[in-house]
Amino acid sequence: MNEGQDLFLAIQGIREGNETDFRRFYEQTKNRVYNLVLGYVRNREDAEEIMQDVFLEVFLSSHTFKGDASVTTWLYRIAVNKSLDFLKHRKRQKRFAFFTSLFDTQSGEVLHHPTDFFHPGIALENQENAARLFRAIDTLPDKQKTAYLLTKVEGLSNIETAAILAASVGAVESLLQRATENLKKQLARVYKSVQEGG
């Protein structure tokens, strides 16, 4: 039995409330979901929280899976939506939280130092470059960001990405082209400022 069939059977079991099938589904897919989510939020705790939401959604809405796409496409779609929802919610809270987190309320001392970025799919010596790349990815519009993360970071094909985005392959190619151009511009600015010592 291939993985796709196994996951499909697990979903059928989850619909019937079978905890063993849910556990099996979770174990088989959790790393992919975590890595994808981490590409959006770049913080382990947030990624774990979103991952829990993703699998809760799988459990609660397994009956909505119609089989018109693969189980992994359906799962990635949930993960993408949960990640984007989280970022929208965080953006609303961010400005105030950012300013209050910069300073100690008692002493007025500066507290904020950006957390180190670590993605399990990226070799240790490339972490600094990866952090720059992910900061640049953050500036992309949602659809470009999703297309880029799914294909370049997760290694999905344009066809699989098109299925997750419910878009044509041509639309995905166009999003990737625009994302790549935008990233080149962003990274050129970063390297220029690094060379100039700013």
> Do residues 8 and 89 share a domain?
yes
Which of 105, 130, 164 is the last residue in one of the domains?
A: 105
Q: Tell me how many domains the chain contains.
A: 2
User: Is 113 a member of any domain?
Assistant: no
Q: What letter represents residue 82's amino acid?
A: K
Residue 70 token pair = 């693969």
> Do residues 126 and 150 share a domain?
yes
> Do residues 90 and 44 share a domain?
yes
| Per-position pLDDT tens, the chain of length 198 | 788 899 999 999 999 989 999 999 999 999 999 999 999 988 899 999 999 999 999 999 999 998 888 999 999 999 999 999 998 887 766 544 444 444 444 544 444 444 444 555 555 556 666 777 888 888 899 999 999 999 988 889 999 999 999 999 999 999 999 999 998 888 887 667 666 654
Range of the domain at 28: 1-105
User: Is 69 a member of any domain?
Assistant: yes
CB of 51 closer than 8 Å to CB of 34: yes
Q: Which CATH number do you get for residue 93?
A: 1.10.1740.10
